[in-house]
Structure 1
């Protein structure tokens, strides 16, 4: 790690283009000149006897403390000052002076002798004395992929977009990384917290508070990646909400991502990257208490398992029990995570892991109904229309592993595999109105058994052509999703009063029905792919990335164990996905780019000849400019995009030409939805003490061609905002307040709405534009003990996070969370 001290009044200011990018984000960038630092200077009273040391690399504070302890020295330093810095440790024979010098080498610090065996850590300088009140310290270490213990809001490289390890600036798409520091600062506990905080992503709970859907650039996401392996996701069905305790970071690529995910929508790829074992021993305990009896406990321990450090292991356990702002709602979340690494040789590493996640809630489906004339009922936010016997239970078990071999010529081979088993129970009610506008409880139960498997293998490395070095990735993948659904019938809908007093609603008013199993359905989706990506260095400042993927996709369905050959069984052969990106470095800090990416989504509809329609394709066109400062510690971007989702199934106007009508309609691949907009983003360090992550997104998606001519020119999804602004920032206070840090979050979106009609009367259900403000304050009591208070929605804004879309049936009103607080204690051993 290295650091640089910068004066704010230097002539070496950033170029105007830097200010243009940052001005778009309403943040001012400081220009800072480089100063050198002093080495440790000895003292006549310092112990000059050399001793042998074997102190492993780790955080700077930890290494210094170990060295001082072994020499019975008193070393004074502020733990907040060393936060985010690391040391290579100490191996070999050193005296005290040499040992301290080696430990702080490459950092902006030196160690001063005070008296006898007392020392202190200070900011180093050379020549004339430096006035620390007039400088800013910026950490400029070369960030790696791993974000744990870096204190950063960005990462050094990410491969989610192409599998090539590239920095954010080198990636010709809009990308965001939610680092471990950002996860901790915002107290994110599951993936819905991440989505709500990530620029360009929208969290929609229209199907119910326990059935979240994620959208980006106007389209829903149906893939979540784990360590780069795609996994099918449908929040309204069974997919679990990933527990963030076991992840180092979340990498997000917006737009079409078919090169790495295969089939999907042109929305985004969310890649959750797991924590890995560490060589240095580290252990922590996190305790969290929040409003509404919210209690969470997390234990995390990692270490080398042998003296050589070639065997490493990590164990993490997390448990959370909580109520919510809705009366009687309860949630339980438990996680066990185990991972081990073994260096089979100096060039080969094997990783094996296991996780067990259990989630349970008693309110997940639907929400609050509309009035009979299509208006909000304006009930209390604490209103809970669910019943005590309702349940959503999910048990998810995952095994995963990978083996990586690094060749002498900088090529490497990686093989990764994962398999998960998910057991789910859905038992709930949905409040709806019948034809006479009376309210009813619609009852439902189903059980689900889901198995997901994925394999991925690729070879990557550099090659030389025409005197220049280029990079290549070639690989193959396979994935399979096997879902079995057990269906039940019930005693029918249970009527309730059309003038129900929700304020006095009791979860015991509707008795638990007897559900009778009616059958079982099974759906198996298999996808195989071959992919190739290459980055060509056309010139020192010009790079071209091209890639392609071939996919074989098949769906097989059965009902009550009888395999059928209906429209639910189909296959797509050798679908071609393309990728191209051109990046030009304008100067040392800025690059401009243009890219084309696409993705496909198979569809089961058939034309008049009985032939399966071609898959939908989502084509993403994007141009932008990116800035990178302080050796990658700060990243900015401005992107303009257009997405065409074409070949959408569109019912033909004259069904008389359809031989299967009316039993089955005929379609043509003629539908088109277009999404256009732009994104602005900044992520990383403005100063060593000031981290920021912010983004503004404008997206307008509309129907261009559709079977329903009245839709053409209308919004594709008016229940998602067209404008989003998200800001997260933290600041470590200076001087005598250095143990304190403060932070704030701001979330703003514009109006959302749903248009519908009932009994010939049209109505609009809407939620106006709103802003939510959060606040954080933290206190580092010592290097080991830290306290943090998070307050969300501090102005207690009342708003609908999701809207109902129909008087009788459809998505329901769901309130956003009122003012909340969490007090977190973290202790590191």
Structure 2
């Protein structure tokens, strides 16, 4: 067993080794490239902020003290400091590098100014516009008031990465300091790829898989071989089930998406050892800005968006933001339509100098008239090669979901080192599903199977978290601890009238059926509650060694209010451990162990609920951070064991409930092994990239069906996936143009074909395929952007989901053919 493990991992270890060498060598060859800028003459404060954002650096300055100064502008290519000093040439100030960015100092005192950590700087009183103040050390410098460029918020940074994220551990760490595989999809990347839903993000994110195998309106997400069943909103986890409500979050209201792959029980509690997807909302700004976006695309795809933010009082202590969007679209399938609308409002208030309160709400409504059934198979389990425009749905079919959510976020800063955060959200999801799928009636003909149900899903999340630093054994360390509560109530409304309609239908020339007379019959309700407490600390063992330890204790309760089957799990412990060693200022290596649990309802021979399924994630890797965090890279080797899976007892003679219900034991095991390699951010100031390669192989190690042992856990999951997105701003006379694109490649997959649930021994294969998208952006003026996205440029025909049964459950779906979207953005 041990030698087999070494042999199996050797190619992956070598892959990480050579990736690390290439990573370091590649970075060494990249010079401190210049960026092409075109900053208009005018207010110096705005010019400095614009320049800092283009270089993706922090800049600390006092806007009021700069109000008396103007600039003649800046055009051409400059390094970071040369450009700053050109802008400041006619002022008494020059740029000064500090640990986390830049600040301004008086030219005569620059040599005496001490380098200080921006996180420790405190505001200095301003007594007159443009006046240079003297600090306690007798050094003249500009008053420090605000951080003009925030690298955690990705809006207006033009970057494909971010400085810090806290999705993995709740502690605010850079990617290099986080001992797990992490990705951020920034606002710039969302706009460049024209992402409108969370499904678009999953399609683009390294290591994540988007599947429509349940039908084009029921998208599921997975990572490392397992389904993703949690979506987080500003750190609060909510349940995601694609086959029930499956709300596709509208990206218009989010700044970025943070992703952590592997087991994430420390932050989510229960779930699969796949990934945490954390969508971070846009927040109100002090400056007034209004962004208008309109787009038109293939198949009558039209979308409009407004995003407005401003201070609501003179001091800027109260700020507001509204976001609205509406999309009306057709698709390449005949008569398929979808509509998406969003209204988002947020108000942020500085209650005191130490307390900030955010309150907000949003309403989202989505409609799709083809969501369930897909393309059928032939009687012998092969593709019928139907036209891509084939739509098996009837025009009355309807999947409509409405979401109303209210949320609040209170932050209180006890000091520079300690703060408290109270985060709460309440969401009401209402959905109605009326749909059909094709069911085979004989070797050539089909009929429609119809169904209708309604779903009301109410979710509540509450989290209290305190974090700070402490001094021990001569070193500073970080700690955080908190408590959380979440509950989900799902009410299902059932209807009669479903059944088989039509006969001998030809999928090449489908006849349609009228909507059945669905009649409400009854409702059922179940409730899930989960309470947890967690704690974590980051120990500074040495200048180059950090150890992160964490633990979480959960109490989980499931109640079937309409029948039997209730159960609970108490005192379930999840663990987190990560060790990071800094090889040098740019590189670190790490190892981590993370866990998660998933309750299950099956019972053993004593009538006891089985212990929860556990997911254990083992990971080692190397991370690189370059250009002050503007570029991040990583390579990781991982193993995930999902244990205690319910395994039906071979001998049911001692099972007291058999044959009505079988007895089980917690003995099943699925193991996922693989590699993640990723690079994201700025290669040069004009060249952004987000790329990732993942290899995943998940197999059964123990199962009730002995024939499955050693076989793939999910054959429809590609082992290898490569994704890259890039954009490049041209220089000189073409500096107004940006060109970019995306490439997606996955290797072949297959499904085992059944006939009405009975195995046939046949396999249906999806061969490896490559998709290419291109983007062209033109900045017509300071306020106006024009952008063209052309997707699937090579017009590749492929399936984004495979049907798996010749008799029923048809769920195959073609991927989108070549299509284009033209977008106009106006900012003022």
Offset of residue 113 of structure 1:
12
1:93, CA displacement in angstroms? 7.3
Q: Give me the whole-angstrom Cα distance separating, in 1, the residues matched to 2:316 and 2:725.
A: 37
Superposed CA offset, 1:226-253 (max 9, x none): 0000000001110210000000000000
Whether the aligned pair in 2 keeps the contact of 1:314 and 1:340 (CA below 8 Å) is yes
Q: 1:159 aligns with which of 166, 179, 182?
A: 166
CA contact (8 A) 2:153 2:162 kept: yes
Which of the numbers 574, 592, 611 marks the counterpart of 2:571? 574
Matches within 5 A, 1:134-533: 144-434=151-441, 438-490=445-497, 492-498=499-505, 500-502=506-508, 504-505=509-510, 509-533=512-536
Supply the distance in 2 between the matched residues of 1:188 and 1:220 (Cα, whole angstroms): 22
Q: What is the TM-score with the length of structure 1 in the denominator?
A: 0.86
* 3-state DSSP of counterpart to 2:29: coil
Q: Per-residue displacement from partner, 1:344-377 (whole Å, max 9, x unpaired)?
A: 0000001001100000010000200100110001
Q: Does 1:542 align with 2:545?
A: yes
The verdict on how the C-alpha distance between 1:639 and 1:688 changes in structure 2, with shifts beyond 3 A counting, is: same
Q: Alignment partner of 1:512: what SS? A: coil
Alignment partner for residue 656 of structure 1, among 653, 656, 676?
Answer: 653
Q: Deviations over 1:11-64 (max 9, x none)?
A: xxxxxx99953737996763336999xxxxxxxxxxxxxxxxxxxxxx9958x6
Q: In the TM superposition, what is the alpha-carbon distance from 1:558 to its structure 2 partner?
A: 2.7
For residues 193-227 of structure 1, the C-alpha deviation after alignment (integer angstroms, 9 at most, x for no partner) is: 00000000000101110100101000001000000
Asked if 2 retains the 8 angstrom alpha-carbon contact of 1:90 and 1:99, the reply is no
Q: SS of the counterpart of 1:771?
A: strand
Quote the residue 1:47 is aligned against. Answer: none
1:382-413 Cα distance to aligned partner (Å, 9 max, x none): 10010011000011000000111001251000
Give the alignment partner of residue 756 of structure 1, picking from 747, 753, 756.
753
Q: Secondary structure at the residue paired with 2:653?
A: helix
Alignment CA distance shift 1:460-1:490 (3 Å): same
Paired position in structure 2 for 1:617: 614
SS in structure 2 of the partner of residue 672 of structure 1: strand
Listed one character per residue, the Cα deviations across residues 458-515 of structure 1 (whole Å, up to 9, x for unaligned) are 11000011010001000000000001000111152113325x052x435xx2011101
- After the TM superposition, which of the residue ranges 400-409 and 141-150 deviates more from structure 2? 141-150
Q: Compared with structure 1, are the counterparts of its residues 113 and 193 closer, same or farther at alpha carbon in structure 2 (3 Å cutoff)? A: closer
Distance in 2, Cα, partners of 1:29 & 1:757 = 54
Residue ranges of structure 2 left out of the alignment (5+ in a row): 1-15, 91-147
Question: Measured at CA, do residues 100 and 650 of structure 1 come closer, stay the same or move farther in structure 2, by a change above 3 Å?
Answer: same
Give yes or no for contact 1:363–1:392 (8 Å, CA) kept in 2: yes
56, 60, 83: which one aligns with 1:108: 83
State the 1:665 CA deviation: 0.4
2:681 to 677, 681, 684: 684
Q: Is the 8 A contact 1:80 1:739 kept in 2?
A: no
SS at match of 1:446: strand
| TM-aligned CA deviation for residue 181 of structure 1 | 0.4
TM-score normalised by L of structure 2? 0.86
Counterparts of 2:633 and 2:384 in 1: how far apart (Å)?
A: 43
Matching residue within 726, 739, 745 for 2:723? 726
Judging changes above 3 Å, is the alpha-carbon distance between structure 1 residues 33 and 197 closer, same or farther for their aligned structure 2 residues? closer
Displacement, 1:517? 1.6
RMSD: 2.9
Shift of 1:805: 1.0
| Partner SS for 2:165 | coil
Q: What is the CA–CA distance in structure 2 between the aligned matches of 1:653 and 1:220, rounded to whole Å?
A: 27
Preserved CA contact (<8 Å) 2:48 2:87: no
Aligned match of 1:818:
817
Mark the CA change 1:350 to 1:757 in structure 2 (over 3 Å): closer, same or farther: closer
Residue 777 of structure 1: aligned partner: 776
Superposed CA deviations along residues 266-314 of structure 1, whole A, max 9, x for unmatched, are 0000000000011111111000111000000000110111111100100
Alpha-carbon contact 2:288-2:311 (below 8 Å) kept: yes
Bigger mean CA offset, 406-415 vs 672-681? 406-415
Q: Any conservation in 1 of the 2:42–2:73 contact (CA below 8 Å)? A: no
Q: Which residue of 1 aligns with 2:93?
A: none
Q: Which residue of 2 aligns with 1:702?
A: 699
Q: Which residue of 2 aligns with 1:552?
A: 555
Pair 569,94 (structure 1): closer, same or farther in 2 beyond 3 Å: closer
Partners of 2:705 and 2:87 lie apart in 1 by: 77
1:68: how far off?
Answer: 10
Q: Does the Cα contact within 8 Å between 2:439 and 2:808 map onto a contact in 1? A: yes
Deviation (angstroms), 1:105 = 10
Once residues 823 and 464 of structure 2 are traced to their aligned partners in structure 1, the CA distance between those partners, rounded to angstroms, is 40
Q: What displacement does 1:97 show?
A: 6.6
* Residues 437, 265 of structure 1: alpha-carbon distance in 2 compared, 3 angstrom cutoff: farther
2:22 alignment partner in structure 1:
23
Q: For the Cα contact (< 8 Å) 2:373–2:393, is it kept in 1?
A: no
The count of corresponding residues between Structure 1 and Structure 2 is 749
Q: How does 1:48-87 map to 2 (within 5 A)?
A: 65-66=42-43
Residues 76 and 66 of structure 1: is their aligned pair in 2 closer, same or farther, counting only changes over 3 Å? closer
Work out whether residues 634 and 677 of structure 2, in 8 Å CA contact, stay in contact via their aligned partners in 1: yes
Kindly indicate whether the alpha-carbon contact (under 8 Å) linking 1:25 and 1:682 is maintained by their aligned counterparts in 2: no
Q: Is the 8 A contact 2:45 2:63 kept in 1?
A: no
Measure how far apart 1:420 and its partner are: 0.5
CA distance in 2, matches of 1:531, 1:769: 43
Q: Could you tell me how far 1:763 is from its partner in structure 2?
A: 1.2
C-alpha separation in 1, matches of 2:24 and 2:303: 36
Which secondary structure state, in structure 2, belongs to the residue aligned with residue 367 of structure 1? coil
Shift of 1:715: 0.3
Give me the whole-angstrom Cα distance separating, in 1, the residues matched to 2:88 and 2:640.
Answer: 63
1:196 aligned counterpart, secondary structure: helix
Which residue number corresponds to residue 765 of structure 2? 766
Distance 1:33 1:79, change over 3 A: closer
Work out whether residues 29 and 686 of structure 1, in 8 Å CA contact, stay in contact via their aligned partners in 2. no
C-alpha contact 1:360 1:394 (8 A) present in aligned 2: yes
CA distance in 2, matches of 1:100, 1:817: 45
Alignment CA distance shift 1:457-1:249 (3 Å): same
Q: State the 1:81 CA deviation.
A: 11
1:608 aligned residue (601, 605, 608): 605
In the alignment, structure 1 residue 746 sits paired with structure 2 residue 743? yes
CA shift in 2, pair 1:484/1:584, >3 Å: same
Q: Does residue 92 of structure 1 match 2:89?
A: no
> For the residues of structure 2 that align with 1:467 and 1:190, how far apart are their CA atoms?
48
Contact 2:302 2:327 (C-alpha < 8 Å) held by counterparts: yes
